[in-house]
């Protein structure tokens, strides 16, 4: 027989008022949003203090599984109603629910002392991360000194491989995003500059904003999400598969073979990607300015060197080197802290991306304050 919709119907018995349950109280039928909402409303009405003496008649139920029984048990407040008409099989199922049901945890307010202890634990957690990051920077400096002493024995094959994966394979996505950002900025600026007849100043605004700020930051954010997460995942998988332990047993320095090649490759790739992204953004802005304001590419090329000093490009390249080192070190830091389980790997990768992007924005703000008089 086809299952029927679960219902709660008020009815009158010789002993007084009550409710009659009918239909199929199964997981398949209770999963229907309309049915679930209607049953929740009916159960709230039938479990009010005024309805405490009502009789619950379950004998007309067509089917009752553990989901329906759990729903009734929760509505009854985890106790049997005073008046209940029920079949033996239904009583057995409800008794099983009573035996294994777990009441919801009691919400407790956090005291001031517990809040203080929680704050202290978070501070110590942050100090531990800072200490590990500083140790990683120190180890990188020592590894660079070792490389300077014997460059012929350096891991140049690893550096070239990381340089390809970090830099060359990121050229299409950075160019596309940079081009679109340039188009959007040009269209937005044209709407405002046209009101004041200052169409020619779009070259100054686009050139300064893209070369000095948006180009390096945009490239760094893209690389942090693309390559920073990959660095953390690669080293984290080595932790899960116990490759790091094998390197320790064989006497291979993790910093020299894992951290330093990635840091060097990122420091070399980021300036090139910054220039590449900035050029793509300028191209998009130039085309949009030509279409919306009639600023020709010839005028754009002629006015750009006069509007933007070379020091802005030098500042952007210098920032990009710092961004690259930060992204590589943060990715390696979280990768080395991954525990040998997949849950920690996912958490470490997420934390690496979020921390890298946050640090890029903070360091960019610091550069903007310190070098505010350069190139303006």
How far apart CA 269 and CA 325 sit, in angstroms, is 10
pLDDT at 34: 79
pLDDT at 130: 92
Q: CATH 3.30.750: which residues of the chain? A: 7-100
Higher pLDDT, 174 or 9: 174
How far apart CA 162 and CA 160 sit, in angstroms, is 6
Q: Among 25-34, 217-226, 340-349, name the one with the lowest average pLDDT.
A: 25-34
Higher pLDDT, 196 or 119: 119
Question: What token pair was written down for 368?
Answer: 């903007």
Does residue 341 carry a pLDDT above 50? yes
- Summarised one tens digit per residue, pLDDT across range 170-200 is 999 999 999 999 999 998 888 888 877 777 7
- What separation in angstroms does the CA of 306 have from each of 223, 299, 300, 315, 368? 31, 11, 10, 17, 21
- Summarised one tens digit per residue, pLDDT across range 144-155 is 999 999 998 889
Query: The dihedral of CA 180, 182, 184, 187: what is its sign?
Result: negative
For residues 75-99, average pLDDT:
84
pLDDT at 290: 87
Q: What average pLDDT does the structure give for the chain? A: 87
How far apart CA 323 and CA 110 sit, in angstroms, is 40
Angle at alpha carbon of residue 118, lines to 113 and 123, rounded to 5°: 125
Does residue 241 carry a pLDDT above 70? yes
- Summarised one tens digit per residue, pLDDT across range 24-68 is 888 888 888 878 888 888 888 777 877 777 888 888 888 888 888
Share of the chain above pLDDT 70, in %: 97
pLDDT at 348: 92
Does residue 320 carry a pLDDT above 50? yes
Q: Which residue has the tokens 């018995």?
A: 13
CATH topology of domain 7-100: Transcription Regulator spoIIAA (3.30.750)
- Summarised one tens digit per residue, pLDDT across range 244-282 is 889 889 988 888 999 999 999 999 999 999 999 999 999
pLDDT at 3: 55
Query: Where residue 375 falls among pLDDT bands split at 50, 70, 90?
Result: low
DSSP 259: I
Does residue 1 carry a pLDDT above 50? no
Residue 328 near residue 266 (C-beta atoms within 8 A): yes
Does residue 311 carry a pLDDT above 60? yes
Query: Where residue 324 falls among pLDDT bands split at 50, 70, 90?
Result: very high
pLDDT at 91: 87
pLDDT at 2: 46
Does residue 314 carry a pLDDT above 70? yes
3-state class (DSSP) for residue 64: strand
For residues 217-234, average pLDDT:
94
């Amino acid at each position: 027989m086809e299952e029927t919709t679960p219902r709660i119907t008020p009815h009158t018995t010789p002993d007084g008022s009550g409710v009659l349950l009918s239909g199929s109280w199964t997981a398949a039928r209770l999963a229907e949003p309309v049915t679930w909402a209607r049953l929740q409303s009916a159960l709230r009405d039938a479990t009010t203090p005024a309805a405490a003496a009502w009789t619950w008649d379950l004998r007309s139920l067509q089917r009752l599984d553990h989901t329906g029984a759990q729903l009734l048990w929760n509505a009854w407040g985890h106790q049997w109603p005073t008046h209940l008409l029920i079949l033996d099989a239904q009583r057995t199922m409800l008794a099983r629910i009573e035996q294994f049901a777990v009441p919801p945890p009691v919400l407790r307010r956090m005291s001031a002392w517990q809040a203080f202890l929680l704050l202290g634990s978070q501070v110590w957690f942050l100090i531990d991360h800072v200490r590990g990051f500083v140790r990683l920077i120190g180890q990188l400096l020592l590894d660079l000194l070792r490389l300077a002493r014997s460059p012929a024995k350096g891991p140049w094959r690893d550096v070239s491989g990381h340089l390809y994966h970090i830099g060359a394979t990121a050229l299409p996505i950075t160019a596309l995003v940079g081009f679109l950002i340039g188009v959007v900025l040009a269209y937005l600026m044209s709407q405002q500059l046209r009101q004041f007849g200052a169409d020619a100043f779009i070259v100054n605004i686009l050139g300064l904003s893209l070369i000095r700020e948006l180009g390096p930051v945009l490239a760094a954010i893209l690389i942090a999400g693309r390559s920073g997460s990959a660095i953390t995942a690669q080293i984290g998988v080595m932790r899960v598969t116990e490759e790091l332990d094998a390197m320790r047993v064989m006497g291979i320095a993790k910093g020299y073979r894992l951290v330093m090649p990635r840091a060097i490759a990122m420091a070399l790739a980021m300036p090139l990607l910054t220039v590449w992204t900035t050029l793509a953004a300028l191209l998009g802005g130039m085309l949009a300015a030509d279409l919306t304001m009639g600023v020709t590419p010839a005028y754009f090329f002629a006015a750009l060197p006069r509007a933007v000093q070379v020091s802005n490009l030098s500042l952007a390249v210098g920032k990009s080197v710092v961004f690259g080192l930060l992204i590589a070190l943060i990715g390696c830091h979280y990768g080395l802290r991954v525990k040998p389980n997949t849950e920690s790997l996912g958490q470490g990768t997420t934390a690496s991306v979020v921390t890298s992007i946050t640090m890029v924005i903070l360091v960019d703000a610091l550069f903007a304050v310190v070098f505010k008089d350069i190139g303006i």
